[in-house]
Amino acid sequence: MENLSLFLVEKKLVKDFFLGWVNPLKLKQVENYKPLSEVIGENGKLSNLSAIEALASIFANEDSELSEKDQYISSVFALLMCAPSRISEIIALPEDCEIIEKDKDGVEHYGLRFYSVKGYGADIKWIPSVMVSVAQKAVARLRRLSANARAIALWHEKKSSVFRLPNCPDVDEEQPLTNLEVYQALGYDVNKMIKHGCREKLKTISLIDKNKFLYDDYSYTLRTLFHKIHNSPPPDFPYYDSEKGIKYSNALCVVNSCQLAENKRTNFWKIHKPSIHTITLEIGQKKGSEPNIFEKHGFFDICGKPLSLNTHQARHLLNTFAYLGGMSEFDIARWSGRNNIPSNKHYNNVAEEHMKAYAINISKQKQNSIEPIVGTDSRVADPNFDPDVHGAVLATEHGYCQHHYSIKPCSRFPGLNEITAGCNEDLTEIVDKLIYRTEQDKNDGVYGADQWLKLHLKYKENLNKK
C-alpha cells in the first residue's frame, strides 16, 4: 500500500500524501532449540553440511582444474560463507566491493560493500579474519571472469566506434572483412574452429535480426560490425541493478553470453546477467540429464545420489555460529543485513543439546567467578592453575577465576586500573603466559580470544608501571 501511494504521487495522479501501513498480524512464533537430529536432518535448516564441505573442496582447486562455470558457482557460494547474505546480494556486488580499514589500534579489517534487501540498505559486511583469504580469492576469480563483459559494457557507455577483442585482426576500421576476420573480430579463436567452419558459426549468431545477418565475405568492416553490436545491449542497460545504482561496467558477477554454458562457445561481444536460478540449479537437486556441480566432481550421498545444497543454508549456518559464539542480537542482525531484529529467531538453529551444554558451562563459569581459587601468601600459587589450557583467565595476587573466550571480560577487573594493579613477580609471569597462550589462540582464529588478549596486554602495562 505504501508503494501504491508513492506511485500515485510520483505519477502526479494525486496530491502529495503518504499512506503508512503496518501488518496487524503477529509474526509466526518459531520453535527454536530442536533436537540436533532435526536441525541437521534431511529437512533441517543446517542439513547437507557434507555438501558445503564438498563445495569448499571444489573451490580450493586451481583455476586450471575447473571450468569457468565451476569457478563462478563455487566463488559465489564461497562469498555466501564469508558473511550471512542472500544470493541476490552476492550477485549484485559491485566490482569495487572490497574495503580495508584500520581500527583505532591500527589493525586492518577487511570487508565487502553490500546492499541488503528488505529495507536494510547499504552497509559494509566485515569478514572474519579466518575467511578473509577465501573472500579475496572468490572476489579475484569473479573479477577475472567478468573482466571482458565489464569492458564491453564500458565500451557501450562510451559509445566508441570499435571494441577490439583479443583475437581481433589488426586491420583498419574501414577495411572490408572476410568471414574469418569477422569470426576473429567477434572474439573467436580460429585455432578452436567449430566443425563446419566460421561461416556456419556466423549464420547462427544473432546481433539484431538473425534473418538479416550477412555472412558473406566483405559484408562488414569493423566499424559496421560493431555498429550493429552497439544496438544490442541488455534491455535495462546501463544498469545491472537500477535499485542499487550498479552499472554493468561495475558489476562483479556479470559475464558474457554463454560463458557459463560448457557446451557452447562464449559470445565475447554480448553481455549477460546471471540469474539466481543459474546458481540454484547448479548446486540444487539434479533435474534432467544435466549433472549438477557435485555430480561432475564425484560427490554423492550414501544412496549414490549427487549432493545438493540450498543457497540460504549458508545464511542459517553463519547465524547459528554467531549465536554459539555469543554475538548480540543487534550485531547478528547488522552483520546479516537484517532490518528487523526479532527476525533473528528464524535463523537461530542452535540445537537443544548445544543449549543444555552451554547452560551447564555458563553455570560452572559463574560459580568459578563467584568463588575464585585463592592462593597462599598473597600469590597465585595454586598447583591446579594451568595457563596453557586457554587464556580466558582473570588472575590477581589474591587468586584467579577461569572464564570462556566467548564471554566478554569483566570491565571492573581491578587489573585494568593502574592504581590498584600491584607488582608481583609470580603474577607478572602468569600474565606473560596468558598473553602468549591467548595470542596463539587468536592467530588460530579462536572466537573471542582477541578481546582477552587486549585485557592481558593492558594488565601487563599496568603491572610494569609499579
Per-residue cell: 104: 583505532
Tell how far CA 222 is from the center of its chain. Answer: 41
Residues facing residue 229 across a β-bridge? none
Spell out the alpha helix ranges (H) of 325-448.
Answer: 329-336, 352-370, 425-443
Q: Which residues, other chains included, contact 278 with Cβ-Cβ below 8 Å and sequence gap of 6+?
A: 260
pTM recorded for the entire structure: 0.65
pLDDT in tens, 337-361: 655 555 545 545 444 444 444 444 4
The pLDDT score that the predictor gives to residue 117 is 59
> What CA–CA distance (Å, rounded) separates 132 from 35?
33
As given in the structure block, the three cell numbers for residue 99 are 574495503
What is the rounded radius of gyration, in angstroms, for the C-alpha atoms of the chain? Answer: 29
Question: Any idea which of 181-195, 247-261, 299-313, 343-357 has the lowest mean pLDDT?
Answer: 343-357
Q: What is the mean pLDDT of residues 122-139?
A: 89
Neighbouring C-beta atoms of residue 158, cutoff 10 Å: 9
Distance between CA atoms of residues 74 and 139, nearest Å = 11
Domain 2-30+47-145+276-347 bears CATH identifier 3.40.50: no
| Nearest-angstrom CA–CA distance, 466 and 452 | 22
Among candidates 206, 203, 171, which has minimal Cα distance to 185? 171
Do residues 255 and 149 touch, judged by C-beta distance below 8 A?
Answer: yes
Taking CB atoms within 8 Å and a gap of at least 24, the contacts of 232-241 are 232/207, 232/208, 232/270, 233/153, 233/156, 233/271, 234/271, 234/272, 234/273, 237/153, 237/156, 237/271, 238/153, 238/156, 238/157, 240/92, 240/273, 241/92, 241/115
**Most confident of the following: 113-117, 123-127, 311-315, 349-353:** 123-127
Return the percentage of the chain with pLDDT > 90, whole number: 19
For 228-246, the pLDDT digits (tens) are 888 778 888 999 988 888 8
Give me 339's grid cell. 532490518
Smallest Cα–Cα separation from 63: which of 137, 136, 119?
137
Higher pLDDT, 375 or 133: 133
- How many angstroms separate the most distant Cα atoms in the chain? 100
Extents of the domains making up the chain: 2-30+47-145+276-347, 148-272, 372-464
Name the grid cell of 225: 560490425
Of 48-62, 183-197, 372-386, the least confident: 372-386
